[in-house]
Amino acid sequence: MVSYADVRRWNADRLDAVHSDLGKRRDELINLQDELDGARNPDGWTGEAAQRSAEQHRRLMEDMRSLVAEVATVRAAVATAADDVTALKRRVDTTDHEAHAHGFQITEDGGVRDVAPPQNIPADQLDQVKAERTRVRDDLVAEIEKILDQAEAIDAELAKALTAADEDQIKPGEGTSLADAAETDELEALAASAGKPAGTSPQAVSDWWTSLSDDQRAAVLETTPKMLGNLDGIPATIRDKANRDRISDERTALRARKTELARKGELSDSEQKEFDGLDAKLKSLDKVEETLDKGDRQLLVLDSGGERMKAAVAVGDVDSADHVSVFTPGLTSTVDGSLSGYDNDMAKLVQDARNQLATEGEDESVAAVTWIGYEAPQIDESMADVVGDERDSVASAQSAEEGGKKLNGFLGGINASRDEDPHLTAIGHSYGSTTTGYALQQGGHGVDDAVLYGSPGSGADSVKDLHVPEGHAYRMEAKWDPVADLGRFGDDLTHQDGYRDLSTEDSRYGEGVTGHSDYLNEDTTSQHNVAAVAAGLPDNIQHGSDPGAGDVISQGTKTVIDSAETAVDTGEKVVDGVGDGIGWTIDKAKDVF
């Protein structure tokens, strides 16, 4: 009999840990296939001893296949239980909060005590208050009964799977290998019954996932984790489970490919490039695991295709956070070289946003994602990638456009996967701001605020093209940031109307920053401002425009031309108009330099 106190102590995180551990055990067992194959009778061995040896090998293989099937089945049951416990715990928390708000206390056995009845009630309101409290108590009692019934069902289902495994009642999947054994008839049937999403949009994916039973979801997670891990519209907790489970398989596949290439001896240029890339991908997996080990993290993208590894890691719970930010970095960003540092930045940003919310008396949660879900441009020793026209060049918009399509789906998937949309903020730095701009231009992303900083351009002709609410697009430029003055992808944001400016100078909120790379440094005005936007606290923003030399020169040129045109229109000397424009430029330049 499950008690209310038992449910309060239930811990979905522990079940998730068991789920992950069972996945590792399953993989370890499956990886014994080569050893088992090597233990078969050698060719040409005959006789009674050979027959006994072959029989023992067959029995060992059957036992191993049964064990793999049992682990796979129990693992799927644990996944179902973990999801059910997570939902049940939220229900318990809501019920406890409701009880406390009305002066009741739910006891460990599920009883309801009136511990703080209202005092000094006017006589003419006494009956009404009494009736209302009776209603609240009865509602609490009814909800507690439903919670305990659900808890009993969760416990019974998990016990059923454990009993079946303990009593050898689970039939391995068809085939002869250990890997085949994991695909039991029951799991395969459930996964097949789940079908596929009706479309590729995040909403279509979410509708499909929502339509599945808990057992179908667990079966799909067990049999096709690669599909779920990178599918926009799937809840973050499920993507995290699926991607974590794939890390070991990805590492094994990358090592196998590396061994295959090494055996060839002399490699072609393309093969050598692939070989070198495999090392970077393996290092990327190491960095992913190191980042996850920091705790309170979710792995929302894991993609080893293409030249470089792609990944996205969240600080906090994207499924439940009131405020979710997605940060896209730019030039030279890679998973192996950049994920850990940017993750630290996001952790500090989340903490700053939480602190600002607490100061305002808001009890709201925050999560932030480092999204390296595209292959950002790199710089090679010859600097060719910076000035060239190839896809991997920072001078080309192709990576930003391709990455923007992926980012758009990722952003839309966050809203689609949740019952209630969070306050969603898109943050882009440098070339990542261009990628973010291309993502936002496609619409359908559900972004509430956008922050573009150190930006060479958003790729949009107007802030309206970003499809964010009016007044909720922000730009930020520090002095001596040459990239922010390039205007390489559309107009320099400084000269586009509709953005709100975030200060990067000294203020009561922190120190100022200069250059291109220090915007998210701790205890700076710029970090405070980004955190304020991420927390949905516009009143906390320190506004201010900090034009750089490039802005002055650009605006000065325009002023000279405008002054000359005005002189012509008014019949004055052009030289006088040009002089006025140059004078304006010199005065502004003094402020910058």
On whether both 376 and 457 belong to a single domain, the answer is: yes
pTM score, whole prediction: 0.77
On whether both 583 and 446 belong to a single domain, the answer is: no
Q: How far apart are alpha carbons 350 and 530 in whole angstroms?
A: 10
Give yes or no for residue 246 having a pLDDT over 60: yes
pLDDT by residue (tens digit) across 264-312? 888 899 999 999 999 999 999 999 999 999 999 999 999 999 999 999 9
Give yes or no for residue 468 having a pLDDT over 60: yes
* Average pLDDT, integer, range 369-397: 66
On whether both 510 and 586 belong to a single domain, the answer is: no
> Which domain-ending residue is among 183, 218, 241?
183
Q: Which domain holds residue 350?
A: 305-546
On whether both 572 and 451 belong to a single domain, the answer is: no
Give yes or no for residue 557 having a pLDDT over 60: no
Residue 163 CA: distances (Å) to CA of 73, 76, 200: 11, 14, 39
On whether both 428 and 565 belong to a single domain, the answer is: no
On whether both 436 and 568 belong to a single domain, the answer is: no
- Looking at the domain assignment, is residue 242 inside a domain? no
On whether both 385 and 497 belong to a single domain, the answer is: yes
Collect all residues with Cβ–Cβ distance below 8 Å to 532 and sequence separation of at least 6: 353, 356, 538, 540, 541
- Looking at the domain assignment, is residue 151 inside a domain? yes
**pLDDT at residue 581, rounded to an integer:** 45
On whether both 420 and 482 belong to a single domain, the answer is: yes
**CATH number, position 415:** 3.40.50.1820
**Helix, strand or coil for residue 310?**
strand
- Looking at the domain assignment, is residue 269 inside a domain? no
On whether both 505 and 558 belong to a single domain, the answer is: no
> Which domain-ending residue is among 165, 183, 201?
183
- Looking at the domain assignment, is residue 79 inside a domain? yes
498: its two tokens: 């509709």
Query: Do 221 and 238 meet the contact criterion of CB atoms below 8 Å apart?
Result: yes
Phi, psi of 454 (to 5 degrees): 55, 40
**pLDDT at residue 96, rounded to an integer:** 95
Give yes or no for residue 574 having a pLDDT over 70: no
- Looking at the domain assignment, is residue 338 inside a domain? yes
Weakest-pLDDT range from 115-119, 179-183, 332-336, 482-486: 482-486
Query: Do 441 and 465 meet the contact criterion of CB atoms below 8 Å apart?
Result: yes
Band (pLDDT 50/70/90 cuts) for residue 1 is: confident
Give yes or no for residue 90 having a pLDDT over 50: yes
* Average pLDDT, integer, range 144-166: 93
Query: Do 324 and 503 meet the contact criterion of CB atoms below 8 Å apart?
Result: no
- Looking at the domain assignment, is residue 215 inside a domain? no
On whether both 489 and 556 belong to a single domain, the answer is: no
- Looking at the domain assignment, is residue 200 inside a domain? no
On whether both 370 and 437 belong to a single domain, the answer is: yes
Query: How many angstroms separate the first and last alpha carbons of the chain?
Result: 75
- Looking at the domain assignment, is residue 224 inside a domain? no
Give yes or no for residue 386 having a pLDDT over 90: no
Nearest to 563 by CA among 550, 579, 552: 579
Nearest to 202 by CA among 227, 226, 232, 228: 232
> Which domain-ending residue is among 122, 149, 183?
183
Band (pLDDT 50/70/90 cuts) for residue 315 is: very high
Percent of the chain scored above 70 by pLDDT? 89
Say how many domains are in the chain. Answer: 3
Band (pLDDT 50/70/90 cuts) for residue 570 is: low
Give yes or no for residue 590 having a pLDDT over 50: no
Q: Which long-range contacts (CB under 8 A, 24 or more apart) does 283-287 make?
A: 283/336, 284/308, 284/309, 284/311, 284/334, 284/335, 284/336, 284/339, 285/247, 285/250, 285/251, 285/254, 285/309, 286/336, 287/335, 287/336, 287/339, 287/340
On whether both 583 and 514 belong to a single domain, the answer is: no
**pLDDT at residue 585, rounded to an integer:** 41
